[in-house]
Structure 1
């Protein structure tokens, strides 16, 4: 089979790929969103031949409007571009890898302060033209119903993965490791928690001091309940209007079932004796650590549809969280992601099949930039694998590296998608007390380590 331009190339279907008895010499990427587009760009720029499958506009989703690659379906903002913020560090690292997504965003940028916001149409058009014009990439607008086994493959289909491909992913990952709903609890910075109020303990003293506990008096609980009931909620999109799974009911929906319901659920005080009073409280909010460094904690059972400003206002009523800095707000929406710590290596390769990679939101990251970054790494590693080079992983001190650490090394029992935040970065050995200086030091360390890694890996 000769390599030809997309207009004249008559590609076989995925089913024909599977039935072939020889390994193909190109990389198949399924999904033309931000992750798939970045994966195709990074792999092709390293000499790999790439076949990119995008089912739109032949088969549309309930959220997309066009057939363009990398169409943004929610916000038009890619988040902060400030290099002293964690998302800004990630963008700078991507820029140093010659990211197509970052280049397109800068071309299509619209005024939005320190945020990198874009004109959606221009952004998508820039990426579509770049990939269509790349001599190493061919784009096929058809649905991928299965996963090819006779080639290197990257699955980057995102939260709106088609039913057919979802079935294929469910089969290869053994169904129990595929989830369809993002039930996310808020995460707060450890340094912003009032340790004079909270106490460390596990229920009935089982499990050591794994949890921080925020004790509530009866009056504090009632005030919190009333505020929660009155708070503004995000209205779900039409395709998200489905019954809740009992395991991921929003905290405010529990509250609607009765004033005492939360006290028998996530705010249950039983078995948690406050060492300061020697007795149980009326209610207790538990915080569970998100990483081995204990730099961030999530509010257990607090998946929510409250708007972000309301989450900040209402959840700061919890004793000990009066000045909480939220690294991630809670949400509950339709999504598709795999239990990556159970299934993936830190190179984004599937543990059971080294020729299969996953990327984007599917691996358990939140946000446009994070999805694109994971696509970029998958594309780089697939291209290296194709030529017999070892797959590589950025240092954990970098924004890419700390995301990979979350994806591949989190506790699979509590795995949830995550965006880039400083809580994921390893602590500094001698951190400055001033917050701005501390963030500057973390930014410098990340970019210095990233450049050293890039040089060692001989990445252009």
Structure 2
């Protein structure tokens, strides 16, 4: 049996879990470290690996019309653990790939714990191990201790702010005003639709703009990711912004009004297998919790809404990858230190997992032969994603990005 240098993976999120899986499928032992639940983060709620902390959607699953759908397809061909879990725990969501949040993460955790080549330790590492090769996949909510070590090694850290959307109890929704339908009937009746007329919509936008927001601490500088703006920030950009964004009514017909298309609509997406939890699509927010309850209960059908999770804001961290990383995700100044996942500046669940998949395969090639594959950036989604974070982006203004 071949012998390999120790491989340590810090973080068992989407990227770390996928990287570990790719390595053990090639019979390479892995030491996997996860600090949760002993030390939690502002966004995580469980000790499961690959926990989904924001939406439960992995976005479009169409490989012909959408870049993330193409990334899904490539990952399936590359034996992705994350995609296997997503397909196994899929929920109705039209053309999107949404999953039962808890079932998805619990199954991934079970698969990793069953692998004899994975030594799984639940403890925080404040810096890489001294021996072997380390992959840092600590995610955007990297612990303060490890973050401080990285700052000393790499220089100033970059960051942006991300926010969570509220989750509502199904039993608290008033279906005398709401109905189930996907836009253009794509899929089944996978979304709950809450309609607003012109006056209700304009009052709602005004309330969002005036709502009390969670204050930032004195040392925090706001820098939102454009692909996940808080709903009140979108509302502040103009009265019609939400009607052309998450509240667009196109492709929907209100059966309570003779099939009429509403002026605007709030959509809810199923968040668990039982159908008891529903996520407010596109309603990530930094409003205070009392403001959320007051404003969101003005939405028709949600007057008695029971909020099982309210929106929140958290700081995400990423490194200046184009300046720091090689095309194989290793540090330019240390060939035995690799990075993967959202800490590299890829944005999104799928992109994070894909980055972990690449890191796992690159590590396997490094210890097996020393020859690491170079991916074509123009003919593969994985190659394009890798190119953005290691070569194609402008390092002077590097920002996280979804596959597109």
1:401 aligns with 2:380: no
Which of residues 59, 63, 80 is equivalent to 1:99? 80
Question: Would you say the 8 A contact 1:236–1:333 is kept in 2?
Answer: no
2:144: which partner in 1?
Answer: 163
1:341 aligns with 2:322: yes
**Deviation of 1:138 (Å):** 1.3
Consecutive unaligned residues in structure 2, runs of 5 or more: 164-201, 244-281, 286-312
1:179: which partner in 2?
Answer: 158
Question: Would you say the 8 A contact 2:4–2:367 is kept in 1?
Answer: no
CA distance 1:170–1:34, change in 2 (3 Å): same
Aligned length in residues: 296
| Cα distance in 2 between the residues matched to 1:235 and 1:383 | 51
Which of residues 407, 416, 419 is equivalent to 2:402? 419
Deviations, residues 198-252 of structure 1 (Å, cap 9, x unaligned):
xxxxxxxxxxxxxxxxxxxxxxxxxxxx99x9484699997x8434756x467xx
Deviations, residues 325-379 of structure 1 (Å, cap 9, x unaligned):
xxx9999951110000110011111100011110000000110000000011011
- Give matches, 1:421-436, under 5 Å: 421=404
| Cα distance in 2 between the residues matched to 1:375 and 1:231 | 41
**Structure possessing the higher radius of gyration over alpha carbons:** 1
TM-score (norm 2): 0.65
Question: Would you say the 8 A contact 1:29–1:53 is kept in 2?
Answer: yes
1:25 aligns with 2:8: no
| Cα distance in 2 between the residues matched to 1:58 and 1:400 | 34
CA RMSD, Structure 1 to Structure 2 (Å): 3.6
1:359 aligns with 2:308: no
**Deviation of 1:392 (Å):** 2.1
2:32: which partner in 1?
Answer: 52
SS where residue 32 of structure 2 aligns?
strand
SS where residue 63 of structure 1 aligns?
coil
| Cα distance in 2 between the residues matched to 1:149 and 1:313 | 55
1:116 aligns with 2:91: no
SS where residue 345 of structure 1 aligns?
coil
Question: Would you say the 8 A contact 1:24–1:150 is kept in 2?
Answer: no
| Cα distance in 2 between the residues matched to 1:117 and 1:374 | 20
**Deviation of 1:45 (Å):** 1.0
| Cα distance in 2 between the residues matched to 1:68 and 1:116 | 20
Consecutive unaligned residues in structure 1, runs of 5 or more: 1-22, 185-225, 251-297, 318-327, 422-460
TM-score (norm 1): 0.58
**Deviation of 1:159 (Å):** 1.2
Which of residues 55, 67, 83 is equivalent to 1:75? 55
Question: Would you say the 8 A contact 2:140–2:316 is kept in 1?
Answer: yes
| Cα distance in 2 between the residues matched to 1:330 and 1:418 | 18
**Deviation of 1:181 (Å):** 2.7
| Cα distance in 2 between the residues matched to 1:366 and 1:315 | 23
Question: Would you say the 8 A contact 2:161–2:223 is kept in 1?
Answer: no
| Cα distance in 2 between the residues matched to 1:144 and 1:408 | 25
CA distance 1:231–1:141, change in 2 (3 Å): same
CA distance 1:231–1:420, change in 2 (3 Å): farther
**Deviation of 1:60 (Å):** 1.5
CA distance 1:233–1:171, change in 2 (3 Å): farther
**Deviation of 1:303 (Å):** 10
